Amino acid sequence: MNEDLVTLISELKQKEAIEITEQRLKSGEDPLKILADGKKAMQIVGQRFSEGRYFIPDLVYSGKILEQVAERVKPGLAQVSDDRKIGKIVLGTVAGDLHDIGKNLVTFMLDVNGFAVYDLGIDVKPQVFVDKIKEIQPRVVGMSGFLTSVYQAMKDTVDAISAAGLRNDVKIMIGGGVMDEEVRKFAGADAYGQDAMAAVNLAKDWIGGA
């Protein structure tokens, strides 16, 4: 097959993307390389969305393709992953944002690395984060956002966690297409993760599962 996985996912070619994924796995390729190509493809999709070439349905469909790719590589990742100390992590896309592609990939990578992940979904209001933290007492909280309009929502969520007296009990990471170190400072989070593996490494550092 002449087209690589990055092109196939970014061009929304589901069947071909799954076929080449299975071929690469059968050839013994490192599953992490396949996921890395998935990330590159999603960056292209995101760029096309920002340029007005792709729309919300395209974002959703590309995410579904990536989920199917991830499900196929997950057994291989589970086999190559070292035993990790299990820790609880709460994740969610903050209020006002309906994107879950990046969050789902982070959830997936944390899961295969041995963490107990509680995914709150999308458009998660600050109080929902607070209630879940009280319920399960995680060590780490992750907030995802794809839109510049949700910077304030991230800050509001961190503020709500602080107001509930829980801020000293958790480490907070943020991530997403438009998130960076400046947003981290504004929101009051502890760290910014550029991708799913960065989130895994932060969780290992904070929980002690490295």
Q: Tens digit of pLDDT for each residue in 191-205? A: 999 887 789 889 989
Contact 199, 110 (CB under 8 A): yes
Q: Which residues pair with 101 in a beta bridge?
A: none
Residue with tokens 């981290």: 184
CA distance 205 to 202: 5
Which residue is associated with the tokens 């502890």?
190
pLDDT at 175 over 60: yes
Res 209 pLDDT > 70: no
The pLDDT, as a whole number, for residue 93 is: 95
Task: Check residues 149 and 159 and name the one with the higher pLDDT.
Answer: 159
The rounded distance, in Å, linking the Cα atoms of 196 and 144 is 11
Looking at per-residue pLDDT, the higher value among 119 and 105 belongs to 119
Q: Where are the beta strands (DSSP E) in the chain?
A: 88-93, 116-119, 140-144, 171-175, 191-192
pTM of the predicted protein model: 0.69
In angstroms, the CA 144 to CA 131 distance is 18
**Residue reference for tokens 């895994």:** 200
